[in-house]
Amino acid sequence: MQTRVRSNQPTDAVVQAVATVEGVEPVDLDIPLFTVIDPDALDSLFESPSDDLGVTFRYHGHEIELDSDLTVTVDGTEIRPEH
């Protein structure tokens, strides 16, 4: 399954993807992203992405994979950004 979310920042893409999978608004997620990963570092990492860049971590009880094109995979569900 593939879904699209609006995002230009890696941190926004992750939060929006998790909220989409959970069927809630991003502000309704009760665990802030900064509790599991440094948002500034994550955004900086993707400022000059390469084709083989990817990050995997756990957030809000989900396995998150973030690719260089800001595609977020949440527990196997791919969520692509709209630019």
Per-residue model confidence as pLDDT tens digits over 24-67: 999 999 999 999 999 999 999 988 767 788 899 999 999 999 98
Going by pLDDT thresholds of 50, 70 and 90, the confidence category of residue 68 is confident
Element of type H or E holding 44:
helix 39-45
**Cβ(60)–Cβ(31) under 8 Å?**
yes
Cα–Cα distances (Å) from 20 to 29, 30, 53, 79, in that order, read 11, 14, 23, 9
Query: How far, in whole angstroms, is CA 32 from its chain's centroid?
Result: 13
* Whole-number pLDDT of residue 53: 86
Instruction: Indicate whether 83 pLDDT > 60.
Output: no
Per-residue model confidence as pLDDT tens digits over 6-20: 567 899 999 999 999
* Whole-number pLDDT of residue 50: 72
Residue 64 dihedral angles phi and psi, to the nearest 5°: -110, 130
The Cα 60–Cα 66 span in angstroms is 15
